[in-house]
Every structure is written in structure tokens, then in C-alpha cells.
Amino acid sequence: MKDIKQLTPVYKNDTYRDFRDLLNKSAEKYGTGDAFIIKHKKGRKEISYEHISFNRFRDDVNALGQGLLDEFGVGKRYAIIGKNRYEWLLSYFAVLGGLGICIPLDKGLPYEELESSLARSYADVLIYDPAHQEQVDKLKAEGKIDVSAYICMDEANEALCIKDIIADGRERLTAGGEDAAEAVAEAVRYPDLCVDPEKIDILLFTSGTTSMAKAVMLCQRNIMSNLEAIEKVIEIVPTDVSMAFLPYHHTFGATGQFAMIAGGAASTYCDGLKYLQKNLVEYKVSVFFCVPLLIESVYKKVMATVKKEGKEKKVAFGMKLTKMLMKFGIDVRRKIFGEILEKLGGNIRLVVSGASAIDPEALAGFKAFGIEAIQGYGMTESSPVICAENIYENKIGSIGRPLPGIDVEIFEPNEEGIGELVARGPNVMAGYFENEEETAKTLSGGWLHTGDLAYVDKDGYIFICGRKKNVIVLKNGKNVYPEELEVLISNLPYVEECMVFGQPRNHDGDHKDLAICAKIVYKTDWMRENLGQEAGVSGSGGETDLNATKIEAYVKADIDKINETLPTYKQMLRVIVTDQEMIKTTTGKVKRYEEAKKM
């Protein structure tokens, strides 16, 4: 096994030295305030809420850390897999308190990829939630990997349990009597462990299949510097209530949670996507980090309700009125649209979107209602945020400007000023674990090459055009950016998801002569409700069965209308229409390579 090499320069961060420093400072500053609100269900109707203070969060981390230290010592590699929950975060903070290396894993990994990730990262211990018990049992039975211990986040047969480890650790840390005190004094105390913020102690796999996923090497200084920069552009206050919706294994989701801890906000957990609106009301959520798919989905549902209630003209007039008043410094948005805001809990003030481009219409709509919706940009390799808007500096469609302390440039721009966005700063990774070739490519010339094409407008705002590898280069030399067309398609009310790509025009497979193609997944409920007999045939039981041929014709007619607004070379010549969901990552990104293989 090769050692993890340290490549990043030493950086001095003034706010938080490491995760333990963040933990202790938050406890000192916010003390008995709510850090987490945990819902407990007993049966169908009995529900209770547990309020966990910042003091208790610190104490629980220390107790778990002590228990793990007594059980395994230091220097182990801990993999964590499971849905977002309090015990997941406890484990993360405890490991990074000096115990060893933390390996957050995607809870949606198929068995083969989980096994591969554990083997490639040389994991010693796996901390998991009950949903992964079957996979854990299979790992134990097959015995192909070197994981020596398994810890369940809940009680489980033949497995260590986090609750018991916390109890043992707390007993050690609070032992009474001279003999007990002397024994504890002679042993290593977890809160006294040395934490080196420059040492690589986080391995994060990028999204992709097992053969494609790369393990990003990060140190605590990377993440703490990024947190400090985020705090300078986004204000989180102790009265805020957030929802930890994005998965913790994803750097954007994790950093969003760290920002809540640093700002003194209370964090809650979503019961599931279909319960999102109910949970927003239930917890009176005021701020959360999310992916574009979520914002777009919520906005479409709001507007669908507006249409159903016959209030389209009223809402449109309200948007025009508030926009005009804003020019004079008069902000009555939340008053005018109070009814809509109440359906979202009444308290939402800030939504931060990241992970991919967002539909400008949804962003503008949220802002029109009085919700500050801003867009950030980054990647796992940058811990993760590189650029972001803020409530004072923003422009619809842009990713804002670089965060404080981060430099960006447009690398080798073309005649339109479009080139690869590159960045450097204290948040940039050390490299890819045991992959020197990819590290050299990505960190070429002292810059992080993002793989995204972008340009800077006259006001200094950065706009992403799309992924460098996704660009469709036509035979005439023109470049087509799929993401630009996908935004236009997504505005059609029945579109669930879409993907634009290039295909050879002829059967001879000439990859230099491409046609622009669009694959569109439609919403069956919308088609059934809005088209009726036009796109369906009568089925048994009085229901309407969808007619694929008629739906395809309907969608193609809409694409023709979009094509009329585009230059000839950008027009979509082939359209694939389906109701089958595309293959996606856990953050909602379509896996283009895998989808393209199906065509």
C-alpha cells in the first residue's frame, strides 16, 4: 500500500484550525442552543422531537471518539455509509478528531462498488446504517476485503453499536474516584489527541462507476479554509433552521452542514423527497443547501398550484409590481406572496444551490417570492466551493465570483472568450489517491483544471457553458453546449429530465459528422391530465392509457418550436421520448456516459 502524499501548500486559517476547533468554538458560542432537532416515530401516530444542543453535540463526539480510541487505537481508516442522520455526523467528527482517516461513501453504491471502494481505500472499519445490513452480511460472508470491524448506527445482531460505544466512552471520560481517575489519566484521552490540519485524513470518491471514480485526498485545512470563505459571503444566524437534505458523503452537502454548525443554526432531516414540503412547514425551515433538481421541482409544484387555483394573472401582476417597487428600495415581496411562502413553511429566506446548473426561471421565481436563491459552483476536488453568488452580488444564470482567497482564470479562451475554468487556493485537493497520472492532468501548472467551460462577462460574473467533455464539436467547427439546450427543454412543463448529446448523422459512424439529439423523459401524470384523449386511448376501468406515438409527436412539435429560436447548427434533429427514468448520481446528475451507451 502506498502512503498518501501531501502536495498542497500549508495555509494559515484564522477562523477554524480543524474540525475539533469548529466543534469546540460552536459549543462555546452557542452552548445550549439547538444544533439538531431529531424526529422519533413510535408507531404511525406517536411522534416526539429530541433537541440536541451544541454542548451535547460536542460531548457526544468526544464520547464516541473515546470509545473508538479504546476499541481500535489511532491510525485506522474508517468508512461511513448511510443516509443523513445524527450518528453519521458524529462518526465523521469523531474520526477527524485525531483517530485516523475518514472515507465517506455514497449510500446508493451497488454491492460491487461498495466492496471495491472499501478495498481501494484500505478501510479498516465500516460504520453503517441498518439499511446496509444485508450488504454488510455479504461482505462478512465473502471475506474478500480487509475490514476488521463493523459498527452499526443502530442496534444490530453481532455488530458493535454506536450508542454502546458512546456510553463506554462517556463513562471513561467522566469516571469518578481516585482509582478511576488515575486509570484514565494514564490512558490516552481522546480530547487530547493531536490533530494535524495539514495531514491527508479524508478520502472522497467522485461520482462514477467503480472503474471511473477517483479518490480525492483532502486535509482538514482544505475544508476549514473553504468554510471560512463561505462564511464571508453567506450569513447563517442562530435563529435559522436548516434541513440537511444533500447527502453528507457529498462535499457540498457536508460543507452546508458545517456552515450551519459554524453559524449556530439548528439542523433537521427530511423524511424523504415526497415529504419535503411537509417537512419545510413542520420545522419552519429558513435555509438549506440543495441541488438544482430540488429547487426546480419545488418551483414547478408551486406554479402548478397557482395555475390550478386560477391565480396565474394575480401572481404575474404581483411579480411585476414588486420588481418595480424594488427599484425604489421598497421590498414587499414576502407580504405580497405570503400565501405561497406559507405553503413552504413561511420562514424560508435563503436557498443555496450547487452541484450543477439551475434553470434561471426557477431562480428568478424564488427571488420574486422574497426567497434569496443563490447559486454556487465547485467540485469535490476543491472542498468544494470555488465561486458563489451572495445576496448583494448576483446575476441570474451566473455562478457569481470567486470566493475570498481563491483565484480563478479562463484557460485558453476561444474567440468568444470561452475556455476551461481553472482555480487555485487553499481549498484545492492534494491529488487523487494512488492515481498519479490523473493527479498530474487535473493539477497541471499549479491550477486545478475543473473540466468546465466558462466565460466572464463585463461585470466580472462567471458563467458556466458546460462540461468540456460534453461539448459537441460539429463538422463545421462550431461548438454546441448541451447544457444550454437542456435548460430550454426543461422549461416544458411535462419534462421530468432530459439530455442533449451528439450522434453520427449516418450509419457509417463518422464521429466528425454529428447530429444534435435530445432524450426527454416526460411526466406520465402530466400527459394523462393535460392531453387526455389527444395523447391517449381509452383503457379498461375507464382510465386513459398513454399512446406513445401521439406523445412523441406532441413533444417533437414543442422541440420544433424551440428550434425556431436557435441558429441552424444548434437545432435538435433527433428526439427520443420516453417515460423511463435516466441513470443518475445521488445528487441528481444524469450519468451521460452510461445513458449514451444505451442509445
Q: What is the CATH number of the domain that holds 502?
A: 3.30.300.30
User: Which grid coordinates belong to 406?
Assistant: 481563491
Tell me the C-alpha distance between 482 and 497, whole Å.
Answer: 13
The alpha helices in 344-387, defined as continuous H runs, are: 360-369
373 and 432 co-located in one domain: yes
Residue 255 lies in a domain: no
Residue 49 lies in a domain: yes
The set of long-range contacts for 474-483, using a CB threshold of 8 Å and a minimum separation of 24, is 474/502, 474/514, 474/569, 475/512, 475/513, 475/514, 476/569, 478/569, 479/414, 479/418, 480/516, 480/569, 480/570, 481/453, 483/357
CATH code for position 199:
3.40.50.12780
433 and 501 co-located in one domain: no
Closest CA to 422 of 379, 393, 479, 388: 379
66 and 81 co-located in one domain: yes
452 and 531 co-located in one domain: no
Closest CA to 279 of 84, 446, 74, 79: 84
376 and 477 co-located in one domain: no
Give residues with Cβ within 8 angstroms of 445, minimum separation 6. none
Tell me the C-alpha distance between 586 and 599, whole Å.
Answer: 22
User: Which grid coordinates belong to 363?
Assistant: 431562480
Q: Give the pLDDT confidence score for residue 594 in this predicted structure.
A: 75
Which range of residues forms the domain containing residue 115? 19-213
Q: How many domains does the chain have?
A: 3
Q: Cα(first)–Cα(last) distance of the chain, in Å?
A: 40
Tell me the C-alpha distance between 412 and 423, whole Å.
Answer: 14
101 and 27 co-located in one domain: yes
Q: Give the pLDDT confidence score for residue 542 in this predicted structure.
A: 44
Q: Please identify, among 446, 467, 488, the residue that sits at the C-terminal boundary of a domain.
A: 467
* pTM: predicted TM-score of the whole model, two decimal places: 0.84
Respond yes or no on whether the N-terminal peptide bond of residue 191 is cis (omega within 30° of 0). Answer: no
Closest CA to 500 of 482, 474, 522: 482
Residue 63 lies in a domain: yes
Q: Around Cβ 145, how many Cβ atoms within 10 Å? A: 19
Give residue-wise pLDDT tens across range 25-50.
Answer: 999 999 999 999 999 988 777 899 99
Which stretches of the chain score pLDDT less than 50?
1-12, 209-210, 537-543
79 and 193 co-located in one domain: yes
Residue 188 lies in a domain: yes
538 and 494 co-located in one domain: yes
Is the separation of the CB atoms in 474 and 569 below 8 Å?
Answer: yes
Residue 267 lies in a domain: no
Residue 13 lies in a domain: no
Give residue-wise pLDDT tens across range 104-125.
Answer: 999 988 899 999 999 999 999 9
440 and 486 co-located in one domain: no
Residue 187 lies in a domain: yes
Residue 250 lies in a domain: no
User: Which grid coordinates belong to 90?
Assistant: 458524529
Is the separation of the CB atoms in 412 and 479 below 8 Å?
Answer: no
551 and 581 co-located in one domain: yes
Q: Please identify, among 467, 497, 521, the residue that sits at the C-terminal boundary of a domain.
A: 467
Q: Give the pLDDT confidence score for residue 104 in this predicted structure.
A: 97
Q: Give the pLDDT confidence score for residue 491 in this predicted structure.
A: 85
303 and 384 co-located in one domain: yes
Q: What 8-state DSSP symbol labels residue 246?
A: S
**DSSP character string of 292-307:** HHHHHHHHHHHHHHHH
320 and 209 co-located in one domain: no
Q: Please identify, among 432, 467, 502, the residue that sits at the C-terminal boundary of a domain.
A: 467
Secondary structure, 3-state, 15-57: CCCCHHHHHHHHHHHHCCCEEEEEEEEECCCEEEEEEEEHHHH
Q: Give the pLDDT confidence score for residue 9 in this predicted structure.
A: 38
